[in-house]
Amino acid sequence: MIITDILEQNSKKYPEETALVERIPATGQRHQITWKEFHSQSVKTANALTHNGIKKGDKVVQLMSNSMDWLPVYFGILYTGAWAVPLNFRFESDKIRLCTRTAEAKAFIFGPEFIERIEAVKKDLDTSVESWIFTGPEADCPPWACPYEKFICEADSQTTPEVSLGPEDDAGLYFTSGTTGTPKAVRLSHEALMHACRVENAHHGQTHDDVFLCIPPLYHTGAKMHWMGSFLVGGKCVLLNGVKPEWIIETVSREKCTIVWLLVPWAHDILIAIESGRINIDDHTLDQWRLMHAGAQPVPPSLIENWQRYFPGQAYDTNYGLTESAGPGCVHLGVENADRIGPIGKAGHGWEARIVDKQGNHLPGGETGELVVKGPGVMKEYYKNPEATSETIKDGWLHTGDIARYDKDGFIWLVDRKKDMIIYGGENIFPVEIENFFLNHEKIKDIAVIGIPDDRLGELPAGIISIKPNKMICEQDIIDFQQELPRYKQLKKIFFGDVPRNPTGKIEKPKLRRIYAEDKRKDLEKLLR
Both 119 and 51 in a single domain? yes
Pick from 146, 165, 184: which residue ends a domain?
165
> Within a domain: residue 357?
yes
Question: If pLDDT is split at 50, 70 and 90, which confidence band does 238 have?
Answer: very high
Residue 145: name the closest of 166, 159, 126, 124 by CA: 126
Pick from 359, 393, 417: which residue ends a domain?
417
Predicted pLDDT at 429: 82
Q: State pLDDT tens for residues 275-321.
A: 999 999 999 999 999 999 887 666 778 888 899 999 998 999 998 89
Both 145 and 212 in a single domain? no
Distance CA(358)–CA(370), nearest Å, equals: 8
> Within a domain: residue 172?
no
Both 427 and 481 in a single domain? yes
> Within a domain: residue 82?
yes
Given a contact cutoff of 8 angstroms between Cβ atoms, the answer to whether 244 and 26 are in contact is no
Q: Where are the alpha helices (DSSP H) in 14-136?
A: 35-51, 70-79, 93-103, 115-119, 122-125
What 8-state DSSP symbol labels residue 314? S
Both 400 and 435 in a single domain? no
Q: State pLDDT tens for residues 47-99.
A: 999 999 999 999 999 999 999 999 999 999 999 999 999 998 888 899 999 99
Beta strands per DSSP E along 249-365: 259-263, 291-295, 315-322, 327-332, 346-347, 352-356
Q: State pLDDT tens for residues 419-459.
A: 777 877 666 787 888 988 998 898 999 999 988 887 667 78
> Does pLDDT of 164 surpass 60?
yes
Quick one: how far is CA 442 from the chain centroid? Answer: 27
Stronger pLDDT, 22 or 413, i.e. the higher one = 22
Predicted pLDDT at 528: 44
Pick from 117, 143, 165: which residue ends a domain?
165
Q: What is the mean pLDDT of the chain?
A: 91
Given a contact cutoff of 8 angstroms between Cβ atoms, the answer to whether 230 and 209 are in contact is no
> Does pLDDT of 247 surpass 50?
yes
Distance CA(214)–CA(426), nearest Å, equals: 44
pTM across the whole model: 0.83
Predicted pLDDT at 529: 47
Q: State pLDDT tens for residues 359-389.
A: 889 998 788 899 999 999 999 999 999 999 9
> Within a domain: residue 256?
yes
Quick one: how far is CA 427 from the chain centroid? Answer: 32
Both 317 and 344 in a single domain? yes
Both 148 and 223 in a single domain? no
Q: In the chain, how many domains are there?
A: 3
Predicted pLDDT at 14: 98
> Within a domain: residue 161?
yes
Both 384 and 497 in a single domain? no
> Does pLDDT of 356 surpass 80?
yes
Both 402 and 299 in a single domain? yes
Q: What is the CATH number of the domain that holds 54?
A: 3.40.50.980
For residue 151, what are the domain limits? 5-9+32-165
Given a contact cutoff of 8 angstroms between Cβ atoms, the answer to whether 319 and 332 are in contact is yes
What 8-state DSSP symbol labels residue 501? B
Both 276 and 351 in a single domain? yes
Residues facing 246 on adjacent strands? none
> Within a domain: residue 189?
no
> Within a domain: residue 440?
yes
> Within a domain: residue 26?
no
Both 133 and 219 in a single domain? no
Both 344 and 209 in a single domain? yes
Cβ-based burial of 29 (10 A; exposed 0-12, middle 13-18, buried ≥19): exposed
Three-state DSSP class for 481? helix
Both 134 and 224 in a single domain? no
Stronger pLDDT, 490 or 180, i.e. the higher one = 490
Beta strands per DSSP E along 194-245: 211-214, 236-240
Q: What is the CATH number of the domain that holds 444?
A: 3.30.300.30
Q: What is the CATH number of the domain that holds 273?
A: 3.40.50.12780
Three-state DSSP class for 137? coil
